[in-house]
Structure 1
Amino acid sequence: MFAAERVSLRLGKRPVLSDVTLTLARGELVIILGPNGAGKSTLLKTLTGDLVPDEGRVTFDGKPLSAIAPRELACARAVLSQSMSLNFPFTVLEVVRLGLEAARGGTKILLRALNAVGLSGFEGRLYQELSGGEQQRVQLARILCQAWAGKPDGSAFLLLDEPVSNLDIRHQLQTLEAVRRHVEGGGGALMILHDINLAALYADRLVMMAEGRIFREGAACDILDRAAILDVYGVDMPVATAKESGRPFALLNRPG
């Protein structure tokens, strides 16, 4: 289990996280919502160990992150950052194979990961010649490959920062289904999204952040309402419940 315990962090003189406590267990998909500048990506980077909090601590399975060897941590969790750049003429298969550097695995895992993101048959394509959305799906395949090879029992964690930002709706759903299947297979996942309705549809637990703090946390049906959206985003959006899923969804209105 990942745990952030009363974490606070400043970047320069500006407080970015303030007294944040959050846990992430195997078998659940946690999705973080919030406006730009709410501290979502900073919290994720703190959980990965890329940032060290000024106060509080982050642990993984009870151990401080600093006490875990990088290779061990790489086998236990895979991270998809908000932006990825690659300037070398790698093929799709070569990029996905980078996910095997921290663990053992073979061609079957590579092909399984590509299939999970709808890129079967793209193995020989050059990464730079793909669209932005296709590149994003290649990077998702890379971290799926890392997670599956690092923990063959399926217990690895995925930490994903806006994994569907460049994708059309079909591939957004495909990506979320791939993460959902990983969680249902015994892994854990933390994801940052901007789409309130996708988050409500897929999350086991929603975390709504604003101004570096957790504003609300819980099941979508318990915490997602008109007042919460207004308080967090400053936008008045009515919330209804879908008949088929029983989950809430927000309705768009034109301002004014």
Structure 2
Amino acid sequence: MMHVNSLGVGSRLLPLSFNAKSGEIIHVIGPNGSGKSTLLTAIAGMLDYHGDIVLEQTELRHYSIAQLAERRAFLSQADRPAFNLEVAHYLSLSLPQNAKHNLDEVEKVVGELATMLLIDDKLHRGIHQLSGGEWQRVRLCAICLQIWPSLNPYSQLLILDEPAAPLDIGQEALLYKLIDKVAAQGLTVIMSNHDLNRTLKHADRAILLDKGVMRACGAVDEVLNPALLSEVFKTAVERHVINGSPILLFD
């Protein structure tokens, strides 16, 4: 479990608090510039902050970089590296140190993730030969290898900053299946997301940010309140039920 208490980052993120349970999927939502990336970067331990972030009963500041890498994985919004590598080589760089002594399990997990993300036919291609969607799926595979429980017994948390942005609708569906599989193994997933209907369908809880302020935090049905969303996003939001499932419609 992770406890966040009075976390703040200068004027970019005003103090906020929340808890995250094992196996829980939390979406961080809000307009552009609301502080989503700042929050995720801070709880990944990659940004100076005020307040407390406690992971596995230890303040984040007290972990070494190596210990932090064992416990959480962070997929940022980033371009591909300048150097070119084969996909298989790139994936190998994300393997936990202990996993390299269990090559059978590594091969099994890599095969499972590559097949799930439809990159199993791209393992021997250079990363600069990949489309944007292919590269994002390779990055997702790599970040999951870092904290996959059968390869890393210390894994606790997966942090994703707008992971669906480069993906088409079919690839996006693969992403959410992968996230469900990660959470089902007991890891906490915290991610930013712009598709509020995906949040309505796939998240357990949501955090709504606006101009660095946490406007709401809790169950998805409560946070995705049409009146509140209309105010924060400055557009009309309505909620309807279609074929038995709730859906948000925007002006």
User: What is the TM-score when the length of structure 2 is the normalising length?
Assistant: 0.92
- Asked whether the 8 Å contact 2:2–2:54 carries over to 1, the reply is yes
CA distance in 1, matches of 2:185, 2:132: 29
Return 5+ residue gaps in structure 2 as ranges: 101-105
Deviates more, 1:138-147 or 1:217-226: 217-226
> Counterparts of 1:224 and 1:151 in 2: how far apart (Å)?
36
RMSD in angstroms over aligned alpha carbons? Answer: 1.8
Q: Does 1:24 align with 2:37?
A: no
Deviation for aligned residue 1:18 = 0.8
2:118 is aligned to: 118
Q: Displacement, 1:152?
A: 4.3
CA distance in 2: counterparts of 1:147 and 1:116, whole angstroms: 17
Contact kept, 8 Å, 1:200 with 1:220, in 2: the verdict is yes
What's the counterpart of residue 47 of structure 1? Answer: 43
What amino acid does structure 1 have at the position aligned with 2:192?
A: I
Measure the CA separation in 1 of the matches of 2:13 and 2:96: 32
**Are the aligned partners of 1:102 and 1:150 in contact in 2 as well (CA < 8 Å)?**
no
Contact 2:146 2:152 in 1 (8 A): no
Rate the CA distance shift 1:85–1:62 in 2: closer, same or farther, 3 A.
Answer: same
* Further displaced range: 218-227 or 170-179: 218-227
Bigger shift: 127-136 or 223-232?
223-232
Following the alignment from structure 1 to structure 2, what is the Cα–Cα distance between the partners of residues 213 and 151? 37
Secondary structure of the structure 2 residue equivalent to 1:19:
strand
Alpha-carbon separation, structure 2, partners of 1:217 and 1:37: 18
The aligned residue for residue 68 of structure 1 is: 63
One-letter identity of the residue aligned with 1:96: L
Q: How many residues align?
A: 246
1:251 aligns with 2:246: no
1:101, distance to aligned residue in structure 2 (A): 4.8
- Match of residue 85 from structure 1: 80
Match of 2:221? 221
Question: Do the aligned residues in 1 keep the contact of 2:99 with 2:152 (CA within 8 Å)?
Answer: no
Matching residue of 1:107: 107
* Alpha-carbon spacing, 1:243–1:216, altered in 2? closer, same or farther (3 Å): farther
Q: CA deviation at 1:252?
A: 2.7
Counterpart amino acid of 1:38? S
Tell me the alpha carbon deviations over residues 201-234 of structure 1, each in whole angstroms, 9 at most, x when there is no partner.
1000011111112111222222312211112111
Deviation of 1:136 (Å): 0.6
Letter in 2 for 1:6: S
1:240 is the counterpart of 2:240: yes
Partner of residue 187, structure 1: 187
Higher alpha-carbon deviation: 207-216 or 28-37: 207-216
Q: 1-side partners of 2:180 and 2:237: how far apart?
A: 27
Distance in 1 (CA, whole Å) between partners of 2:225 and 2:76 is 29
Match of 2:206 in 1: 206
For residues 132-151 of structure 1, the aligned pairs below 5 Å read 132-148=132-148
Distance 2:173 2:93 in 1: 25
CA distance in 2, matches of 1:57, 1:123: 40
The CA distance in 2 between the partners of 1:81 and 1:150, in whole Å, is: 24
Q: Normalised by the size of structure 1, how large is the TM-score?
A: 0.90
Q: Which segment is superposed worse, 99-108 or 55-64?
A: 99-108
1:163 maps to 163
CA contact (8 A) 1:161 1:191 kept: yes
Q: CA deviation at 1:109?
A: 2.3
Percent of paired sites with the same residue: 28
Distance in structure 1 (CA, Å) of the matches to 2:15 and 2:149? 35
Offset from partner CA, 1:34-69 (integer Å, 9 cap, x none): 00111110001110111121x312121121112112
Secondary structure at 2:174 match in 1 = helix
Q: Which amino acid aligns with 2:62?
A: A
In structure 2, the residue matched to 1:9 is: 9
1:62 counterpart letter in structure 2: Q
Give me the whole-angstrom Cα distance separating, in 1, the residues matched to 2:149 and 2:94.
Answer: 8
User: Is 1:37 paired with 2:27?
Assistant: no
- 2:39 is aligned with what amino acid? L
